[in-house]
Amino acid sequence: MAGLNIKYSVVLALLLMGCPGEISNPTPPVDPAGEEPATGEELYKDKACRNCHSEYSSTSCPTLAGFSQKALIAGKIPNNRTNLRKWLKNPSSIKYGTMMPNLGLTDQEIDTLVEYIYTL
């Protein structure tokens, strides 16, 4: 029985001391919740929206300037925040054959972009 107590004492001592060779000052984990979310303007740049949607209209990519005043999104659905969210989530589900890619945006990114686009 005494041998069992010694084993527990040794294990407890090792746990309290830490393992030999262990990094003494590990880098703390990054807390994603603690990071500031990207602004709409940052996402617009980071996701390359402005590469196609510049301030000038073209035949393939319309300008988003004055977006809130436009009647339709992609010439298909009424312009409102709900429909813009659907469009950004999966453009081809709204307009088959669209050149607008599915950017794989998160719901938070979509919400942020929607609010930003309505300020343009």
C-alpha 72/C-alpha 83 separation (Å) is: 10
The domain ranges of the chain are: 38-120
Q: What's residue 34's pLDDT?
A: 58
- Using alpha carbons, list the distances in angstroms from residue 39 to 47, 69, 111, 116, 117: 12, 22, 10, 8, 11
The kind and range of the H/E element at 60 are none
Q: What's residue 70's pLDDT?
A: 93
Q: What's residue 58's pLDDT?
A: 65
Please give the model's pTM, rounded to 2 decimal places.
Answer: 0.66
Average pLDDT over residues 49-67: 78
Q: What's residue 93's pLDDT?
A: 94
Question: 38-120 maps to which CATH number?
Answer: 1.10.760.10
Mean pLDDT of the chain: 77
Q: What's residue 73's pLDDT?
A: 92
C-alpha dihedral (34, 37, 42, 45), degrees to nearest 10? 100
The kind and range of the H/E element at 91 are helix 91-94
C-alpha 119/C-alpha 80 separation (Å) is: 13
Greater confidence, 5 or 82?
82
C-alpha 30/C-alpha 13 separation (Å) is: 30
